[in-house]
Chains A and B, each alone.
Chain A
Amino acid sequence: DSGVTQTPKHLITATGQRVTLRCSPRSGDLSVYWYQQSLDQGLQFLIQYYNGEERAKGNILERFSAQQFPDLHSELNLSSLELGDSALYFCASSGQGAQETQYFGPGTRLLVL
């Protein structure tokens, strides 16, 4: 158990819909990262938050947004969903040092029908 929790574990929805994925980092970790894993793109970094502020952005679509709340949990919002958004979405947390390990949650499996 990494100490990072994600809900829900599975999500099935239809094209055009909007969903919210939730992540709670390990106790004491201020950084939260979101990654997407799909068959065609592999594991890709989406976005990072540190203590409530956006710190880095990767290959995140404009239809996707995220935020980190004062209690440090984070939410990833996916809107106008397309079939190609079906993937595993992982959250990871770490300290902010350059040599910090990122600990991953169990992921949310999203299926868009």
Chain B
Amino acid sequence: SQQGEEDPQALSIQEGENATMNCSYKTSINNLQWYRQNSGRGLVHLILIRSNEREKHSGRLRVTLDTSKKSSSLLITASRAADTASYFCATVASGSARQLTFGSGTQLTVLP
């Protein structure tokens, strides 16, 4: 079963705008990772944030983590048509487990 939910389920914006996606999860975590999936293709790793980190940047991506609320957000700035994809958050639970538990994903459409 999935760890949590992402919202919104779908997001449509104009090129150049910022896109924000939110993820909630249920259990204590070791880290949280964001992945992108272009239609029916493989998952591309975007960023990993550890449970003791609050914010992380990578290029146009900014991820925040609030472990007290068990939530994370992914911000994509100055979006491009090529950013159109599904975005998933995935958590690694605290302890010895290493497998990812995925959220339900956000479908982002960036209109040119």
B-contacting residues of A (Cβ < 8 Å)? 2, 31, 33, 35, 42-45, 48, 55-56, 58-59, 88, 90, 92, 94, 96, 98-107, 109
Q: How far is the CA of A96 from the CA of B99 in the complex (A)?
A: 11
CB <8 Å contact, A90 and B105? no
Q: How far is the CA of A44 from the CA of B88 in the complex (A)?
A: 12
CB <8 Å contact, A48 and B40? no
Main secondary structure of the interface of A (DSSP, over half): strand
10 new A-B contacts at CB < 8 Å, known A33-B98, A45-B101, A105-B42: A2-B44, A43-B88, A44-B2, A55-B98, A59-B1, A88-B40, A100-B98, A101-B45, A104-B42, A109-B40
Main secondary structure of the interface of B (DSSP, over half): strand
Q: How far is the CA of A58 from the CA of B101 in the complex (A)?
A: 10
Work out how many contacts link A and B, with CB atoms closer than 8 A.
66
B65 contact set on A, CB distance < 8 A: none
Q: How far is the CA of A101 from the CA of B33 in the complex (A)?
A: 8
CB <8 Å contact, B99 and A48? yes
Range of interface residues on B (Cβ < 8 Å) = 20 to 34
CB distance from A90 to the nearest CB of B (A): 7
Q: How far is the CA of A42 from the CA of B2 in the complex (A)?
A: 8
A33 contact set on B, CB distance < 8 A: 98-100
- Identify B45's interface contact among A48, A98, A103, A106, CB under 8 A: A103
